[in-house]
Amino acid sequence: MDFRQLQSANKRKSGELLFGMGLLVGLVAWALLTYFGKTGIGVVPFAVGIALISVWGSYWASDKIVMTMTGAKIIQESDNKQLYGLVSEICIASGLPMPKVAIVEDSAPNAFATGRNPEHSVIAFTTGILSAMDREELQGVTAHELAHVANRDTLVSAIAATTAGAIAILTDFLMRIMIFGGGGRRDSNDSNQNPIAIVVSIVVLILAPIAALLLRLAISRKREALADVTAVEFTRNPAGLRRALEVLQKDSTVVHQRSTAVAHIWIESPLDSSATSKLFSTHPPLEERIATLRAMESGS
């Protein structure tokens, strides 16, 4: 398959998922209005405000925060000429500005990129990935990471996290009012809906946070698939990234700090994949990614 078709398909799908997020917010607002009447709407600005402040602070300083959490150290060109060369090659192929290059002291092979925009981006490699892969494979990994930068995935995941966060805060708040407020509907005089609507709105409020989480994870998986395809646009060499993913597949060591907070930024999920089902993971399964790249190799 051609990378251009795959790219637009992935972009469309993640766009649809973000749209689904928007619909979910609308649905929660409707449930709110149905159950609590107009006074319930007053809670929305608070929930959105809290979510915005918590997520966008970390979005704005994403490069610094992630660097601290993962223990990545910025290197200079003289420290690793080959790695620096690899990164600047992909910058030329993509037209991106040169990011900061960092190393994480960890024997597990992995890599990540972050930053609020291409000008503030950081690309980091573990010492494990540098020793496990040859030049062509590392080029594929670099292209995948810089594809995240080019596709503005830090921004996309920040938007997804904000919406999911707002929904979680909102529903949590409302469930508390329902339980501790004696189940009372505050102003029943202006919300005299039929009982079915009331029941549906309760179900929506209960299920919304889970749905938001699943949507957020689905967006993350789509962006990973998109980054693989964009990487091929940069290198025009699906085999490099495919072989890199095969190296990751064979490797059983996982990154030491298994914080779920930064799990989504690595090229391969650092969490134990067998413990979680596909629905709850931030990355598509490696076999699926390898198969897609293989299809691109034979198609071009």
Is 92 among the residues that bind other proteins (CB under 8 A)? yes
What DSSP character marks residue 190? Answer: G
Could you give the CA distance from residue 116 to residue 288 in angstroms, rounded to a whole number?
A: 29
Residue 42: exposure state from Cβ atoms within 10 A (0-12, 13-18, ≥19): exposed
Which residues does 200 contact at the CB level (< 8 Å), separation at least 6?
Answer: 31, 34
Of 10-18, 231-239, 264-272, 273-281, the segment contacting other proteins by CB under 8 A is 231-239
Is 49 among the residues that bind other proteins (CB under 8 A)? no
Residue the block writes with tokens 């290198």:
235
Is 88 among the residues that bind other proteins (CB under 8 A)? yes
Is 250 among the residues that bind other proteins (CB under 8 A)? no
Closest to other proteins by CB, 94 vs 121, is 94
CA atoms within 13 A on the CB side of 196: 0
Could you give the CA distance from residue 290 to residue 241 in angstroms, rounded to a whole number?
A: 8
User: Which secondary structure element, helix H or strand E, spans residue 124, and what is its range?
Assistant: strand 122-126
Supply the minimum distance, in Å, between the C-beta of residue 257 and other proteins: 32
Closest to other proteins by CB, 83 vs 164, is 83
Is 236 among the residues that bind other proteins (CB under 8 A)? yes
Is 15 among the residues that bind other proteins (CB under 8 A)? no
Is 94 among the residues that bind other proteins (CB under 8 A)? yes
Supply the minimum distance, in Å, between the C-beta of residue 236 and other proteins: 7
Closest to other proteins by CB, 28 vs 96, is 96
Is 145 a catalytic site residue? Answer: yes
Contact 245, 266 (CB under 8 A): no
Burial 272-286 (b: 16+ CB within 10 A, else e): eeeeeeeeebbbbee
Which among 89, 137, 145, 297 is annotated as catalytic?
145
Closest to other proteins by CB, 52 vs 239, is 239
User: Contact positions toward other proteins, by CB under 8 A?
Assistant: 81-82, 85-86, 88-90, 92-95, 135, 139, 234, 236-239, 297-298, 300
Which residues are part of the catalytic machinery?
145
